[in-house]
Amino acid sequence: MDTSPTREITILPGRNRRGAPERFEAISIRPGDTISIVGPTGSGKSALINDIEVFARNDTATGRTVLVNGEFPPEEFVRDPAYKPVALITQNTRCLADLTVAEFLAMHVRSRKIADDGIVERTIALANEFTGEEIRAGARMTALSGGQTRSLLVADAVLIAAAPVLLLDEVENAGIFKERVIEVLRAGGKAVIFVTHDPLVSLLSARRIVMRDGGVERVIEPLDRENEALREALRLDGILRRMREEIRAGNLITGPVGA
Amino acid sequence: MRLAVVAGPPSAGKTAVVRQTIRSLLDRHRIAYLKIDVVRAFEDEELAAEFGIPARKVCSGDLCPDHAGVMVMRDAVAWAEGEGADLLLVESAGLCLRCSPYTTQGLGIVVLSAVSGTNTPLKMAAMLALADIAVVTRIDLVSQAEKEVFRERIREVNPDLDIVETNAVQGTGMRYLLRAIEEYPQITDPDTIVLRCAPPLGVCTVCIGKTEIGWQHHFGVVRRLEDADYLFRGD
């Protein structure tokens, strides 16, 4: 098997829900890329990341094909989690495993055959950078809040699964510190693909894939044309975040809120 | 002809897996389908209507459904051959996690749901341990870490089991199951097919309809509460 590192993942077009071919030649994903997938509910966003996750071979409903380093990936990439170069964090914010946080992570570490005693603690510590509600090692996975679960699964994908490509389905929904998540993922040289309805997450991504009717409609590379909108989104997000924290702390917001 | 036996707990997605299998293999195989259930079953009529394949069912009534399956399996092979089938898919009722309806000369497929709980694989024993391939359904509902933890649990029971993860409604990941079915050796002699182990079926007095509680009313495998910690272990 060729186990050379994943340099590039390529999406080749399939068909939209009406059977019309998608209008792009190929979409390439490389380390450090940030891409957001946008479009109305039901437009096929989740189906697109599912195609990437299973390395579709014209065998899913969309007819797309996904290549690794320009070729069909070896079977181990698809089937053996220890080789799989992508990790998907689903919209689901409930973990069903009836285990404690430390047991769950330890079992994942064992399945990956990682010999690193501190990795469970480091994963919990990283997860706690993404959420305001502290995650404890002894808490049960099923008792975590949506934000805690999401934070833990993202931290797990970064440190334990250590996948070079992360697929995040509506990361903004769970109330986690999305800017911090993006910062950590970028610093780690990960390629990150967001399915998102959030303007800030979209504007922070270097590329946007626009979905309609089950197919890719356009791929936009805004370059620096959206800098002003990004600054404004960051400012508004800062205001909302401060207000959220005041409200959570039980305070009245009576003073000026603008920055 | 090839034989594949599909087992798994209720609502694990066995029929969804069977449906995707038929849909994908229909253009190159003639497939016959047998459903074994207890009270009622509709899968045979649905699959016959959807794909135009020979399909039938057995309802075991008061009998253990896997016992019923063992009784009719030889006839089913002859029926499927008579229908000109080159693949017979048998789907079990999936009631008892201890059951293991797999036979020699046939692929044993266990279907289990990714959302059924971390300990489920550990509870399944023979149904999992004696299968050739595990199909984990509803994989779209869990994250990467959960998938891997569930996988690890399956491997604890059977380290050599081939694992296929699928969203059986969409059909993702099914290609590896299809390959396993198509590459499995054909039946060489139906009269020599045997169960892979003596499963805990037992045509017991309860199975045949006696309803009294208490060992005094029963015969066969009879135990008092005091010595019933582990009720029965076969050969």
**Per residue in B150-162, pLDDT tens?**
998 899 999 999 9
Beta strands in chain A (DSSP E): 9-12, 27-29, 34-38, 65-68, 86-89, 165-169, 191-195, 207-212, 215-220
For the ranges A89-98, A161-170, B184-193, the lowest mean pLDDT is seen at: A89-98
Answer yes or no: is A3 within a domain: no
Strands A34-38 and A215-220: unpaired
The domain covering B2-192 belongs, at the CATH homologous superfamily level, to P-loop containing nucleotide triphosphate hydrolases (3.40.50.300)
Assess whether pLDDT exceeds 80 at residue A152: yes
pLDDT for B6: 96
Residue A4 — pLDDT band, cuts 50, 70, 90? low
Answer yes or no: is A1 within a domain: no
Alpha carbons B44 and B50: distance in angstroms, whole number: 10
Are residue A165 and residue A247 in the same domain, yes or no? Answer: no
Judge whether A97 is closer than 8 Å to chain B, CB to CB.
Answer: yes
How many A×B Cβ pairs under 8 Å? 87
Q: Which of B144, B163, B171 sits opposite A87 (nearest CB)?
A: B144
Site from A60, A64, A96, A113 to mutate, B interface, most B CB atoms within 10 angstroms: A96
From chain B, pick out residues whose CB is under 8 angstroms from the CB of A112. 148
Are residue A259 and residue A171 in the same domain, yes or no? Answer: no
Assess whether pLDDT exceeds 70 at residue A224: yes
- Show Cβ contacts of residue A130 under 8 Å, excluding neighbours closer than 6 positions: A150, A151, A154, A155, A176, A177, A180, A181, A184
Q: What is the DSSP string of A14-43?
A: -B-TTSPBPS-S-EEE-TT-EEEEE-STTS
Q: Which of A240-244, A249-253, B118-122: highest mean pLDDT?
A: A249-253
pLDDT for B29: 97
Residue B226 — pLDDT band, cuts 50, 70, 90? confident
Closest alpha carbon within chain A to B114: A96
Q: Which helix (H) or strand (E) element contains residue B16? A: helix B14-25
pLDDT for B201: 63
Residue with tokens 């409604």: B169
pLDDT for B25: 95
Instruction: Give the start-to-end residue ranges of the domains of chain B.
Output: 2-192, 204-235
Judge whether A57 is closer than 8 Å to chain B, CB to CB.
Answer: yes
Are residue A239 and residue A206 in the same domain, yes or no? Answer: no
Are residue A71 and residue A190 in the same domain, yes or no? Answer: yes
**ipTM score here?**
0.71
Question: In chain B, which among 150-209 make CB contacts under 8 A with chain A?
Answer: 150-153, 155, 163-165, 167, 170-176
Following CA atoms B134, B181, B14, B19 in sequence, which dihedral angle do they give, to the nearest 10 degrees? 140
Assess whether pLDDT exceeds 70 at residue A174: no
Assess whether pLDDT exceeds 90 at residue A161: no
Residue A162 domain boundaries: 9-222
pLDDT for A81: 76
Are residue A217 and residue A168 in the same domain, yes or no? Answer: yes
Whether the CB-CB separation of A85 and A9 falls below 8 Å is answered with yes
Quote the number of domains for chain A: 2
Quick one: B61 exposed, middle or buried, by C-beta within 10 A (0-12, 13-18, 19+)? exposed
Nearest-CA distance from A227 to chain B in Å? 34
What mean pLDDT is predicted for residues A155-171? Answer: 88
Are residue A163 and residue A253 in the same domain, yes or no? Answer: no
| More confident call, A10 vs A145 | A10
Nearest-CA distance from A107 to chain B in Å? 6
Strands ordered across the beta sheet of A27-29: A27-29, A9-12, A65-68
Residue B49 — pLDDT band, cuts 50, 70, 90? very high
What mean pLDDT is predicted for residues A235-241? Answer: 89
Question: In chain A, which among 162-181 make CB contacts under 8 A with chain B?
Answer: 163
Judge whether B115 is closer than 8 Å to chain A, CB to CB.
Answer: yes
From chain A, pick out residues whose CB is under 8 angstroms from the CB of B152. 107-108, 110-111
From chain B, pick out residues whose CB is under 8 angstroms from the CB of A84. 144
Q: Which of B141, B146, B175 sits opposite A97 (nearest CB)?
A: B146
Domain of A84: which CATH number?
3.40.50.300
What mean pLDDT is predicted for residues B131-149? Answer: 88
Assess whether pLDDT exceeds 60 at residue B235: no
Assess whether pLDDT exceeds 70 at residue B228: no
From chain A, pick out residues whose CB is under 8 angstroms from the CB of B164. 79
Judge whether B146 is closer than 8 Å to chain A, CB to CB.
Answer: yes
Are residue A191 and residue A237 in the same domain, yes or no? Answer: no
Strands ordered across the beta sheet of A34-38: A86-89, A165-169, A191-195, A34-38, A207-212, A215-220
Distances in whole angstroms, Cα of residue B147 to Cα of each of A102, A129, B118, B136:
17, 24, 10, 9
Are B144 and A161 a contacting pair at CB < 8 A?
yes
What mean pLDDT is predicted for residues A238-256? Answer: 88
Alpha carbons B56 and A216: distance in angstroms, whole number: 43
Question: In chain A, which among 101-130 make CB contacts under 8 A with chain B?
Answer: 104-105, 107-108, 110-112
Are B172 and A104 a contacting pair at CB < 8 A?
no
Are residue A154 and residue A76 in the same domain, yes or no? Answer: yes
Whether the CB-CB separation of A59 and A41 falls below 8 Å is answered with no
Q: What is the DSSP string of B105-164?
A: TSEEEEEEETTS-TTHHHHHTHHHHT-SEEEEE-GGGS-HHHHHHHHHHHHHH-TT-EEE
Residues of chain A above pLDDT 70, percent: 97
Are residue A198 and residue A73 in the same domain, yes or no? Answer: yes
Closest alpha carbon within chain B to A60: B172
Assess whether pLDDT exceeds 70 at residue B206: yes
From chain B, pick out residues whose CB is under 8 angstroms from the CB of A108. 145, 148-149, 152
Whether the CB-CB separation of A226 and A36 falls below 8 Å is answered with no
Q: Name B137's bridge partners.
A: B113
Answer yes or no: is A68 within a domain: yes
pLDDT for B202: 62
Over residues A32-82, the pLDDT tens digits come to 899 999 999 999 998 899 899 889 988 888 999 999 999 999 888 888 877
- Show Cβ contacts of residue A103 under 8 Å, excluding neighbours closer than 6 positions: none
- Nearest Cα neighbor of B203 from B6, B40, B108, B61 is B61
b/e A5-38 (16+ beta carbons within 10 angstroms → b): ebeebbbbbbebeeeeebeeeebebeeebbbbbb
Residue B2 — pLDDT band, cuts 50, 70, 90? very high
Over residues A88-135, the pLDDT tens digits come to 888 776 777 778 999 999 988 988 888 888 999 999 999 999 988 899
Are B147 and A81 a contacting pair at CB < 8 A?
yes
Closest alpha carbon within chain A to B173: A54
Alpha carbons B79 and B35: distance in angstroms, whole number: 14
Judge whether A95 is closer than 8 Å to chain B, CB to CB.
Answer: yes
What mean pLDDT is predicted for residues A204-231? Answer: 94
Answer yes or no: is A4 within a domain: no
From chain A, pick out residues whose CB is under 8 angstroms from the CB of B136. none
Q: How many CB atoms sit inside 10 A of residue B168's CB?
A: 28
From chain A, pick out residues whose CB is under 8 angstroms from the CB of B145. 104-105, 108, 153, 156-157, 160-161
**R_g (Cα) of chain B, nearest Å:** 18
What single letter denotes the amino acid at residue A65?
Answer: T
Quick one: A56 exposed, middle or buried, by C-beta within 10 A (0-12, 13-18, 19+)? buried
Are B142 and A50 a contacting pair at CB < 8 A?
no
Whether the CB-CB separation of B58 and B34 falls below 8 Å is answered with yes
Alpha carbons B215 and A180: distance in angstroms, whole number: 64
Residue A183 — pLDDT band, cuts 50, 70, 90? confident
Residues of chain B above pLDDT 90, percent: 48
Over residues A5-23, the pLDDT tens digits come to 788 999 999 999 999 999 8
Are residue A117 and residue A233 in the same domain, yes or no? Answer: no
What mean pLDDT is predicted for residues A147-153? Answer: 90
Judge whether B118 is closer than 8 Å to chain A, CB to CB.
Answer: yes
Are residue A245 and residue A156 in the same domain, yes or no? Answer: no
What single letter denotes the amino acid at residue A84?
Answer: K
Are B144 and A98 a contacting pair at CB < 8 A?
no
Q: Which of A75, A81, A99 sits opposite B148 (nearest CB)?
A: A81
Whether the CB-CB separation of A97 and A104 falls below 8 Å is answered with yes
pLDDT for A188: 83
Alpha carbons A248 and A238: distance in angstroms, whole number: 15
Q: Which helix (H) or strand (E) element contains residue B33? A: strand B31-37
Q: How many CB atoms sit inside 10 A of residue B186's CB?
A: 11
Alpha carbons A141 and A101: distance in angstroms, whole number: 5
Half-sphere exposure of B154 (CA within 13 A, CB side): 27
pLDDT for B211: 81
For the ranges A132-141, A236-245, B79-88, the lowest mean pLDDT is seen at: A236-245
Alpha carbons B235 and B17: distance in angstroms, whole number: 33
Closest alpha carbon within chain B to A109: B149
Are residue A232 and residue A203 in the same domain, yes or no? Answer: no
Over residues B208-224, the pLDDT tens digits come to 777 888 888 888 777 77
